[in-house]
Structure 1
Amino acid sequence: MSTQDTPLPPEPVDFSLDLTGHEMTRRTHVMAALGSDWDPVEALRGEEEAYDMLYSGLDAEQQRLYDTLVEAGVLPRRGSGRAAA
């Protein structure tokens, strides 16, 4: 009998898979890779500094586009609402 001859079930089959154990193993490996000296607060501070640098020194057209994206809710408003100079 081939798979083409196997009748399909009349109703959808409930299929579930519990990945909880795998997720805990994944998280353990991530934390081990980060190391014991990883400081999440410092990492966030560095990320904010990188965003400030990214949006600094914009020319007039870039600033206009930045402001449009902020107004549309695509980018968060940073600082005084103007990209850093």
Structure 2
Amino acid sequence: MDDRSGHLAFTLDLTLEEARRRAEVIAALGPDWDPVAALRAEEAARDLLYSGLDADQERTYAMLVEAGVLPGRDTGDAAAH
């Protein structure tokens, strides 16, 4: 096909740049970063955030989980994921 628009088609592979970016993020986190501890802290914060809800708040929470707006509470059953 003859393209007379003057535009040049090209592709750019960002795989190497993405790998470099990820390596820089991990390096910036430092050697003391503990991903397991960070995940546990996030889960504890989420549990605290949604604890003590009254009945109306529980219904609203359940509605938002059902709609996919909020993640459900993890029951610890890996098969459920």
What RMSD in Å do the two structures reach over aligned CA positions?
2.2
Work out which of the residue numbers 35, 38, 46 in structure 2 matches 1:40: 35
Work out which of the residue numbers 5, 8, 20 in structure 2 matches 1:8: 5
CA distance in 1, matches of 2:55, 2:18: 47
The corresponding residue for 1:83 is: none
- Residue identity over aligned pairs, in percent, reads 61
Q: Which has the higher mean CA deviation after the structures are superposed, 44-53 or 63-72?
A: 63-72
The alignment's TM-score, normalised by the length of structure 2, stands at 0.69
The alignment's TM-score, normalised by the length of structure 1, stands at 0.67
SS at match of 1:37: coil
CA distance in 1, matches of 2:29, 2:14: 22
Please list every run of at least 4 consecutive aligned residues from structure 1 whose deviation after the TM superposition is greater than 4 angstroms. none
Q: Which has the higher contact order (CA 8 A, sep 6+)?
A: 1
Gap regions ≥5 residues in structure 1 = 1-6, 81-85
